Structure 1
Amino acid sequence: MDTKALIASYYDAFNAGQTDRMLDLLHDDVEHHVNEGGIRKGKALFAEFNTHMTESYRETLTDMVIFANETGDRAAAEFVVNGTYLKTDEGLPPATGQTYRLPAGTFFVIRDGKIARVTTYYNLAEWMRQVVG
Protein backbone atom coordinates (compact mmCIF):
# COMPACT_ATOMS: atom_id res chain seq x y z
CA MET A 1 0.00 0.00 0.00
CA ASP A 2 1.40 3.42 -0.83
CA THR A 3 1.94 6.02 1.90
CA LYS A 4 -1.09 8.19 1.15
CA ALA A 5 -3.33 5.10 1.12
CA LEU A 6 -1.80 3.95 4.42
CA ILE A 7 -2.56 7.29 6.08
CA ALA A 8 -6.05 7.38 4.55
CA SER A 9 -6.71 3.87 5.94
CA TYR A 10 -5.50 4.99 9.37
CA TYR A 11 -7.94 7.91 9.42
CA ASP A 12 -10.78 5.86 7.91
CA ALA A 13 -10.34 3.48 10.86
CA PHE A 14 -10.26 6.45 13.27
CA ASN A 15 -13.50 7.87 11.89
CA ALA A 16 -15.13 4.43 12.07
CA GLY A 17 -14.06 4.02 15.70
CA GLN A 18 -12.02 0.93 14.76
CA THR A 19 -8.98 1.45 16.96
CA ASP A 20 -7.85 -2.17 16.48
CA ARG A 21 -7.64 -1.55 12.74
CA MET A 22 -5.58 1.60 13.46
CA LEU A 23 -3.17 -0.50 15.54
CA ASP A 24 -2.75 -2.95 12.65
CA LEU A 25 -1.31 -0.09 10.57
CA LEU A 26 1.30 0.83 13.18
CA HIS A 27 4.88 -0.40 13.39
CA ASP A 28 5.53 -2.41 16.58
CA ASP A 29 7.98 0.28 17.72
CA VAL A 30 5.64 3.20 16.99
CA GLU A 31 6.32 6.49 18.73
CA HIS A 32 3.33 8.69 19.54
CA HIS A 33 4.29 12.32 20.07
CA VAL A 34 1.33 14.18 21.54
CA ASN A 35 0.57 17.90 21.41
CA GLU A 36 0.95 18.31 25.19
CA GLY A 37 2.94 15.68 27.07
CA GLY A 38 5.52 12.98 26.66
CA ILE A 39 6.22 10.40 23.99
CA ARG A 40 4.42 7.05 24.09
CA LYS A 41 6.52 4.21 22.70
CA GLY A 42 5.02 0.96 21.42
CA LYS A 43 1.62 -0.28 20.36
CA ALA A 44 0.48 -1.12 23.91
CA LEU A 45 0.74 2.50 25.08
CA PHE A 46 -0.89 3.71 21.87
CA ALA A 47 -3.78 1.30 22.52
CA GLU A 48 -4.16 2.60 26.10
CA PHE A 49 -4.27 6.15 24.75
CA ASN A 50 -6.97 5.18 22.24
CA THR A 51 -9.08 3.58 24.99
CA HIS A 52 -8.83 6.72 27.11
CA MET A 53 -9.66 8.99 24.17
CA THR A 54 -12.68 6.89 23.18
CA GLU A 55 -14.06 7.18 26.72
CA SER A 56 -13.52 10.95 26.97
CA TYR A 57 -14.12 12.20 23.41
CA ARG A 58 -16.16 11.37 20.32
CA GLU A 59 -14.40 12.80 17.28
CA THR A 60 -14.78 12.74 13.52
CA LEU A 61 -12.16 14.18 11.21
CA THR A 62 -13.22 16.09 8.09
CA ASP A 63 -11.62 18.21 5.38
CA MET A 64 -8.74 15.71 5.23
CA VAL A 65 -5.74 16.50 3.03
CA ILE A 66 -2.86 13.99 2.98
CA PHE A 67 0.67 14.73 1.78
CA ALA A 68 3.62 12.36 1.28
CA ASN A 69 7.20 12.83 0.17
CA GLU A 70 8.53 11.13 -2.97
CA THR A 71 10.17 8.23 -1.13
CA GLY A 72 7.06 7.55 0.95
CA ASP A 73 8.82 7.53 4.31
CA ARG A 74 7.31 10.83 5.53
CA ALA A 75 3.75 12.06 5.40
CA ALA A 76 1.45 14.67 6.85
CA ALA A 77 -2.28 15.19 7.15
CA GLU A 78 -4.28 18.35 7.74
CA PHE A 79 -7.88 18.10 8.91
CA VAL A 80 -10.65 19.50 11.10
CA VAL A 81 -11.55 17.73 14.35
CA ASN A 82 -15.30 17.76 15.01
CA GLY A 83 -15.76 16.52 18.54
CA THR A 84 -17.85 16.09 21.66
CA TYR A 85 -16.27 16.17 25.12
CA LEU A 86 -17.89 13.18 26.85
CA LYS A 87 -16.02 12.53 30.09
CA THR A 88 -13.85 14.89 32.15
CA ASP A 89 -10.17 14.43 31.32
CA GLU A 90 -7.68 14.93 34.17
CA GLY A 91 -6.44 18.51 34.39
CA LEU A 92 -9.04 19.81 31.93
CA PRO A 93 -12.43 21.51 32.44
CA PRO A 94 -15.46 19.38 33.37
CA ALA A 95 -17.11 17.57 30.47
CA THR A 96 -20.78 18.31 29.90
CA GLY A 97 -21.13 17.16 26.31
CA GLN A 98 -19.57 20.31 24.85
CA THR A 99 -18.89 20.26 21.13
CA TYR A 100 -15.82 21.68 19.42
CA ARG A 101 -14.41 22.17 15.94
CA LEU A 102 -10.66 22.53 15.71
CA PRO A 103 -8.07 22.49 12.91
CA ALA A 104 -5.24 20.00 13.48
CA GLY A 105 -2.40 18.27 11.72
CA THR A 106 -0.30 15.16 12.06
CA PHE A 107 3.17 14.25 10.84
CA PHE A 108 4.10 10.62 10.16
CA VAL A 109 7.24 8.55 9.68
CA ILE A 110 6.74 5.31 7.69
CA ARG A 111 9.01 2.29 8.17
CA ASP A 112 8.59 -1.24 6.77
CA GLY A 113 5.23 -0.26 5.29
CA LYS A 114 3.82 0.73 8.70
CA ILE A 115 3.37 3.98 10.60
CA ALA A 116 6.39 4.34 12.90
CA ARG A 117 5.77 7.84 14.29
CA VAL A 118 2.60 9.86 14.83
CA THR A 119 3.03 13.53 15.86
CA THR A 120 -0.20 15.49 16.22
CA TYR A 121 -0.58 19.24 16.73
CA TYR A 122 -3.63 21.34 17.55
CA ASN A 123 -4.32 24.56 19.45
CA LEU A 124 -5.12 23.48 23.01
CA ALA A 125 -5.97 27.08 24.05
CA GLU A 126 -8.60 27.24 21.29
CA TRP A 127 -10.03 23.87 22.37
CA MET A 128 -10.25 25.19 25.95
CA ARG A 129 -11.99 28.36 24.77
CA GLN A 130 -14.59 26.29 22.95
CA VAL A 131 -15.33 23.84 25.79
CA VAL A 132 -15.32 26.44 28.60
CA GLY A 133 -17.41 28.86 26.56
Structure 2
Amino acid sequence: MNQNTINLIEQYYAAFNSADMETFLSLLTDDVIHDINQGKREIGKEAFSRFMACMNFNYKEQLVDMVIMATPDGSRAAAEFVVLGKYLKSDEGLPAANGQEYKLPAGAFFEICENKVARITNYYNLEDWIAQVSD
Protein backbone atom coordinates (compact mmCIF):
# COMPACT_ATOMS: atom_id res chain seq x y z
CA MET A 1 0.00 0.00 0.00
CA ASN A 2 1.17 3.49 -0.80
CA GLN A 3 1.47 5.57 2.38
CA ASN A 4 1.35 8.93 0.54
CA THR A 5 -2.03 8.03 -0.94
CA ILE A 6 -3.28 6.71 2.41
CA ASN A 7 -2.23 10.00 4.03
CA LEU A 8 -4.01 12.01 1.30
CA ILE A 9 -7.29 10.15 1.83
CA GLU A 10 -6.92 10.50 5.62
CA GLN A 11 -6.47 14.28 5.15
CA TYR A 12 -9.48 14.38 2.80
CA TYR A 13 -11.77 12.74 5.36
CA ALA A 14 -10.31 14.65 8.33
CA ALA A 15 -11.12 17.90 6.49
CA PHE A 16 -14.63 16.57 5.73
CA ASN A 17 -15.23 15.62 9.37
CA SER A 18 -14.07 19.03 10.62
CA ALA A 19 -16.10 20.86 7.92
CA ASP A 20 -12.87 22.49 6.69
CA MET A 21 -14.03 23.00 3.11
CA GLU A 22 -10.97 25.08 2.20
CA THR A 23 -8.60 22.22 3.00
CA PHE A 24 -11.05 19.63 1.65
CA LEU A 25 -11.27 21.33 -1.76
CA SER A 26 -7.51 21.99 -1.88
CA LEU A 27 -6.94 18.23 -2.00
CA LEU A 28 -8.77 17.95 -5.36
CA THR A 29 -7.48 18.47 -8.88
CA ASP A 30 -9.12 21.39 -10.72
CA ASP A 31 -10.80 18.92 -13.10
CA VAL A 32 -11.84 16.41 -10.42
CA ILE A 33 -14.44 13.87 -11.51
CA HIS A 34 -17.20 13.24 -8.97
CA ASP A 35 -19.47 10.24 -9.53
CA ILE A 36 -22.43 10.85 -7.24
CA ASN A 37 -24.07 7.79 -5.68
CA GLN A 38 -26.97 6.74 -7.95
CA GLY A 39 -26.66 10.07 -9.70
CA LYS A 40 -24.81 11.92 -12.39
CA ARG A 41 -21.14 12.60 -12.98
CA GLU A 42 -19.90 16.11 -12.27
CA ILE A 43 -16.55 17.47 -13.38
CA GLY A 44 -14.51 20.28 -11.84
CA LYS A 45 -13.71 21.69 -8.45
CA GLU A 46 -16.41 24.37 -8.80
CA ALA A 47 -19.12 21.74 -9.32
CA PHE A 48 -17.77 19.73 -6.37
CA SER A 49 -17.81 22.87 -4.22
CA ARG A 50 -21.49 23.51 -5.08
CA PHE A 51 -22.32 19.89 -4.30
CA MET A 52 -20.64 20.15 -0.90
CA ALA A 53 -22.39 23.45 -0.11
CA CYS A 54 -25.74 21.72 -0.71
CA MET A 55 -24.70 18.71 1.36
CA ASN A 56 -23.51 20.86 4.26
CA PHE A 57 -26.77 22.85 4.17
CA ASN A 58 -29.02 19.76 4.22
CA TYR A 59 -26.99 17.30 6.28
CA LYS A 60 -24.59 17.13 9.21
CA GLU A 61 -22.35 14.09 8.85
CA GLN A 62 -19.35 12.48 10.49
CA LEU A 63 -17.52 9.53 9.00
CA VAL A 64 -16.27 6.87 11.42
CA ASP A 65 -14.77 3.38 11.40
CA MET A 66 -12.60 4.37 8.43
CA VAL A 67 -10.59 1.73 6.55
CA ILE A 68 -8.41 3.02 3.70
CA MET A 69 -6.58 0.93 1.11
CA ALA A 70 -4.32 1.99 -1.77
CA THR A 71 -2.60 0.34 -4.69
CA PRO A 72 1.18 -0.06 -4.39
CA ASP A 73 1.77 2.70 -6.97
CA GLY A 74 -0.66 5.07 -5.20
CA SER A 75 -2.79 5.74 -8.27
CA ARG A 76 -5.97 4.25 -6.79
CA ALA A 77 -7.50 4.06 -3.33
CA ALA A 78 -10.63 2.84 -1.63
CA ALA A 79 -12.25 3.70 1.68
CA GLU A 80 -14.93 1.97 3.70
CA PHE A 81 -16.65 3.79 6.55
CA VAL A 82 -19.87 4.45 8.43
CA VAL A 83 -21.76 7.71 8.00
CA LEU A 84 -23.31 9.08 11.20
CA GLY A 85 -25.67 11.78 10.06
CA LYS A 86 -28.49 14.15 10.77
CA TYR A 87 -30.95 15.22 8.07
CA LEU A 88 -31.31 18.97 8.67
CA LYS A 89 -33.18 20.43 5.67
CA SER A 90 -35.32 18.70 3.07
CA ASP A 91 -33.40 17.82 -0.08
CA GLU A 92 -35.15 17.89 -3.46
CA GLY A 93 -36.86 14.62 -4.35
CA LEU A 94 -36.20 13.06 -0.93
CA PRO A 95 -38.34 12.64 2.20
CA ALA A 96 -39.00 15.70 4.37
CA ALA A 97 -36.29 16.51 6.91
CA ASN A 98 -37.01 17.02 10.59
CA GLY A 99 -33.67 16.27 12.20
CA GLN A 100 -33.73 12.51 11.64
CA GLU A 101 -30.52 10.72 12.53
CA TYR A 102 -29.09 7.92 10.42
CA LYS A 103 -26.23 5.42 10.41
CA LEU A 104 -25.20 4.24 6.97
CA PRO A 105 -22.36 2.02 5.73
CA ALA A 106 -20.63 3.58 2.72
CA GLY A 107 -17.58 3.38 0.53
CA ALA A 108 -15.60 5.42 -1.95
CA PHE A 109 -13.14 4.79 -4.75
CA PHE A 110 -10.44 7.29 -5.70
CA GLU A 111 -8.11 8.01 -8.57
CA ILE A 112 -5.02 9.96 -7.52
CA CYS A 113 -2.95 12.24 -9.74
CA GLU A 114 0.09 14.21 -8.51
CA ASN A 115 -0.94 13.60 -4.87
CA LYS A 116 -4.45 15.04 -5.36
CA VAL A 117 -7.85 13.43 -5.73
CA ALA A 118 -8.65 13.33 -9.45
CA ARG A 119 -11.78 11.16 -9.21
CA ILE A 120 -14.08 10.10 -6.40
CA THR A 121 -16.94 7.65 -6.69
CA ASN A 122 -19.17 7.26 -3.63
CA TYR A 123 -21.45 4.32 -2.85
CA TYR A 124 -24.11 3.80 -0.20
CA ASN A 125 -27.52 2.16 -0.06
CA LEU A 126 -30.01 4.95 -0.82
CA GLU A 127 -32.97 2.67 -0.02
CA ASP A 128 -31.52 2.06 3.46
CA TRP A 129 -31.05 5.81 4.01
CA ILE A 130 -34.62 6.58 2.86
CA ALA A 131 -35.99 3.89 5.21
CA GLN A 132 -34.03 5.36 8.13
CA VAL A 133 -35.22 8.94 7.59
CA SER A 134 -38.81 7.92 6.77
CA ASP A 135 -39.55 6.25 10.13
Same fold (TM over 0.5): yes
What's the offset of the Cα at 1:39?
0.6
What's the offset of the Cα at 1:37?
1.2
Aligned residue number for residue 44 of structure 1: 46
Paired residues for 1:48-127 under 5 Å? 48-127=50-129
Structure 2 distance, partners of 1:85, 1:48, is 18
Residue type at the aligned position of 2:106: A
1:6 counterpart (5, 8, 14): 8
Structure 2 distance, partners of 1:44, 1:20, is 12
Structure 1 distance, partners of 2:83, 2:22, is 20
Deviations 1:57-84 (A, max 9, x none): 0000000000000000000000000000
RMSD value, Cα: 0.8
What's the offset of the Cα at 1:17?
0.5
Structure 1 distance, partners of 2:34, 2:134, is 27
What's the offset of the Cα at 1:5?
0.1
Percentage identity across paired residues of the two chains: 53
What's the offset of the Cα at 1:113?
1.2
Give the ranges of 4+ consecutive aligned residues of structure 1 lying more than 6 Å apart after TM superposition.
Answer: none
Residue type at the aligned position of 1:44: E
Structure 2 distance, partners of 1:39, 1:20, is 22
What's the offset of the Cα at 1:36?
1.8
How many aligned residue pairs are there? Answer: 133
Aligned residue number for residue 20 of structure 1: 22
What's the offset of the Cα at 1:85?
0.1
TM-score by length of 2: 0.97
- Structure 1: stretches of 5+ with no match in the other structure: none
